Amino acid sequence: MKVLVATEKPFAAAAVEGIKKEVEAAGNELALLEKYTDKAQLLDAVKDADAMIIRSDKVDAEVLEAAKNLKIVVRAGAGYDNIDLAAATANNVVAENTPGQNSNAVAELVFGLLVYTVRNFYNGKAGSELKDKKIGILAFGNVGRNVARVAKGFGMDVYAFDAFCPADVIEAAGVHAAKSQNELFQTCDIVSLHIPATPETIKSINYATVNQMPKGGILINTARKEVINEPELIKLLAEREDLKYITDIKPDADEDFKKFEGRYFSTPKKMGAQTAEANVNAGIAAAKQINAFFKDGCTKFKVNK
């Protein structure tokens, strides 16, 4: 079987090495397509692949149709909004993710960005501290739970809301359960987004949502750019000079956001999961899932049900 690793943003070398070992130990062959710049390269590479490991790489109907031998695609990471699930199902391809494998890396970046922000992007002026501030975690999944753990280390007052996670589970983790998303925004000095991009969440973080934040509020996004209603957030930032927007996913309207100097920051490339540890965890988990699929038909992490 040919296992293709197709990553426009490559894994750390140690992760590729680990994936190769796993794939070859199962008697399969590894093919590598890294840093491709053109979809044609991907369409060509998938032609004879039986399995694929990807990151945020787009696997749409055209890719799935070009991949005549493909049986399984594993997104080494959490969010699988880059895979056309209906097209995967139509082409008899199992789509999987590797939940939890890169979540600590994303959570640590949240705090790297927050310290940078509250210290005024290290411009020399007196900033503020995270201790005793209220942080609101929107969605209490793997990343959200890691954010809560680290936030407690900073001495923050931690709140969370998750439409799919009961309040008692949140409270059992030593976190205040907000009754609603609105209450989270109304209560917290900082709101950290960890919702996936779904039809329900796309553009859901809008003017009305963020305008509920107290004076000096910071919105931090290490989830997906699609959940933000960009024109409405730009309008709000223009009206409320106390608010800040910090993101690990460059918005489409990056140039417009850049006008809010000192109140906006975006990493040049999505960096949340870009650590050797996260790459190794997610990459090797993906390779193991592919091996288990070919060996026993295991589809434990299937997302196109």
- Binding ligand 3PG (rule: CB under 6 A), the pick from 22, 67, 79, 188 is 79
Alpha helices in 2-54 (DSSP H): 13-25, 39-45
Minimum Å distance from CB 274 to ligand 3PG? 6
Residue 213 vs 285, nearer CB to ligand 3PG: 285
Minimum Å distance from CB 10 to ligand 3PG? 10
Tokens read off for 58? 């787009």
SS3 content of the chain, % helix, strand, coil (to 5): 40, 20, 45
- Contact, 269 vs 109, CB < 8 A? no
* Binding flag, residue 221, ligand 3PG (CB under 6 A): no
Distance CA 136, CA 277 (A): 26
- Contact, 141 vs 194, CB < 8 A? yes
Site for ligand 3PG in 227-246 (CB under 6 A): none
Residue 79 vs 136, nearer CB to ligand 3PG: 79
Total number of residues that touch ligand 3PG (CB under 6 A): 11
Strands, sheet with 51-54, edge to edge from the N-terminal-most edge strand: 29-34, 2-7, 51-54, 72-75, 94-97
* Binding flag, residue 285, ligand 3PG (CB under 6 A): no
- Binding ligand 3PG (rule: CB under 6 A), the pick from 2, 55, 145, 176 is 55
The 2-41 contact track toward ligand 3PG, x by CB under 6 A, reads: -------x--------------------------------
Residue 187 vs 247, nearer CB to ligand 3PG: 247
- Binding ligand 3PG (rule: CB under 6 A), the pick from 18, 77, 141, 144 is 77
- The count of residues in the chain is 305
**DSSP-assigned states of every residue in 46-100:** TTT-SEEEESS--B-HHHHHH-TT--EEEESSS--TTB-HHHHHHTT-EEEE-TT
* Binding flag, residue 102, ligand 3PG (CB under 6 A): yes
Stretch that binds ligand 3PG, among 130-138, 163-171, 265-273, 290-298 (CB under 6 A): 265-273
Minimum Å distance from CB 269 to ligand 3PG? 9
Angle, helices 276-296/13-25, rounded to nearest 10 degrees = 20
- Contact, 173 vs 198, CB < 8 A? no
Residues that bind ligand 3PG (CB under 6 A): 9, 55-56, 77-79, 102, 270, 272-274
